[in-house]
Amino acid sequence: MKKILLVSLVVGLAGCGKSEAEKAKYEAEMKELRYNQMAEGFVKSHLKDPDSAQFRGQQGFCGEVNSKNSFGAYTGFKKFIAADKNMIVMEDDLSPQEFRKVWDGVCK
């Protein structure tokens, strides 16, 4: 958490004296970081071993996660959509066709 705050502070200070386009870009990047952090928290609350979670390919509330199961083995990266802590859809929760349809509608 301290790293995130430090990065936010450094990036925030770097935003001083920038053009409107640069400020808009900075705001969009910060918004994306906040969404990623929120989604990671939502997904971790859904996992058997949240400390083992590895994330990749995140874009807002969508991405992939790999974590350990109850046997202590990694399950492999699986796509997720995490709208809030009570609405997390993992790739295995739906049929491949249904998940693809939701993924394409929400995450693209």
The predicted-structure confidence for 50-85, as pLDDT tens digits, reads as follows 999 999 999 989 999 999 999 999 999 999 999 888
| Alpha-helical segments (H) within 19-95 | 20-44
Domain enclosing residue 93, as ranges: 2-107
Name the DSSP letter for residue 49: S
What pLDDT, on a 0 to 100 scale, did the predictor assign at position 108?
A: 77
What pLDDT, on a 0 to 100 scale, did the predictor assign at position 15?
A: 53
Confidence of residue 47 (pLDDT cuts 50, 70, 90): very high
Q: Mean per-residue pLDDT for 86-105?
A: 94
Range 8-37 burial, b when 16+ CB lie within 10 A, else e: eeeeeeeeeeeeeeeeeeeeeeeeeeebbe
Q: What's CA 32's distance to the chain center, in Å?
A: 9
| pTM score | 0.74
Average pLDDT for the chain: 87
Query: Across the beta sheet with 54-59, what order do the strands follow?
Result: 54-59, 62-66, 78-84, 87-90
Helix axes 20-44, 2-14, angle to 10 degrees: 170
What pLDDT, on a 0 to 100 scale, did the predictor assign at position 56?
A: 96
Our count of domains for the chain comes to 1
Query: Is the model's pLDDT at 1 over the cut of 60?
Result: no
